[in-house]
Amino acid sequence: MEKFTHVRIVMGMIVSLGLTHMLKGLSSTIQHPGTIRIYPVHMAWVASMVLYILHFWWWEFSLREIAQWTFGIYLYLLFYAFIIYLLCSMLFPDSLKGYDGYEDYFMSRRVWFFGLLFAVSLVDVGDSVIKGEVHLSRLGDLYWLRTAVVAISCLVAIRTRNRLFHTGFVALNLAAQVLLIVKSYWSDA
């Protein structure tokens, strides 16, 4: 249990930096309305990442079920937290200088953002495997379906600037996140 506590604290520090980055970016947008062109798809991804971080933090409590901790598991989990932080940092850059608002910025960095999101979907599967067979059996089909759809959609999102696709992808992703949370924590299933 001592190792779990240590790992949880280190992961929490990294992921909390990502959450802080999101909140700081949102705060800046609120503080300076009208100075930066908002892009609804970008803001929906911000909401998605905030929800992802909150869910991740809760979900990682399942790590307490790991009986034998190794340095490899520790590094893997820190890698997961690093990717989450990088995703957050991609959504709110230090400066939008040279970009015509968030849409221009987001589309110009979509390869990085969706590449990292693709990586997170794969790393999350490994994280679930680390938590053991009981955990894997509790995930249900919705988890696997969502993971596959997100991974495939990321590959498409990397290649297209189509507004309709990006709007649909983020909306579907948010709906799947909410459904997964409800199914996992508020349903009898």
Domain positions in the chain? 2-185
Report which residue type is found at 117: L
Which residues, 6+ apart, have CB-to-CB distance to 55 below 8 Å? 177, 180, 181
Whether residue 1 has pLDDT greater than 70: no
pLDDT in tens, 123-172: 999 988 888 888 788 888 888 998 999 999 999 999 999 999 999 999 99
Q: Please, what is the average pLDDT of the chain?
A: 90
Of these ranges, 7-16, 60-69, 106-115, 128-137, the one predicted with the greatest mean pLDDT is 106-115
Can you tell me the distance from the alpha carbon of 146 to that of 176, in angstroms, rounded to the nearest whole number?
7
Residue 79's pLDDT band (cuts 50, 70, 90): very high
Considering only 1-5, 29-33, 39-43, 92-96, which range has the smallest mean pLDDT? 1-5
Residue 189's pLDDT band (cuts 50, 70, 90): very low
pTM to 2 decimals?
Answer: 0.90
- Give the residue, 110 or 36, on which the prediction is more confident: 110
Residue 72 burial (10 A CB sphere; 0-12, 13-18, 19+): exposed
Whether residue 116 has pLDDT greater than 80: yes
Can you tell me the distance from the alpha carbon of 168 to that of 150, in angstroms, rounded to the nearest whole number?
12
Can you tell me the distance from the alpha carbon of 108 to that of 8, in angstroms, rounded to the nearest whole number?
34
Which residues, 6+ apart, have CB-to-CB distance to 149 below 8 Å? 172, 176
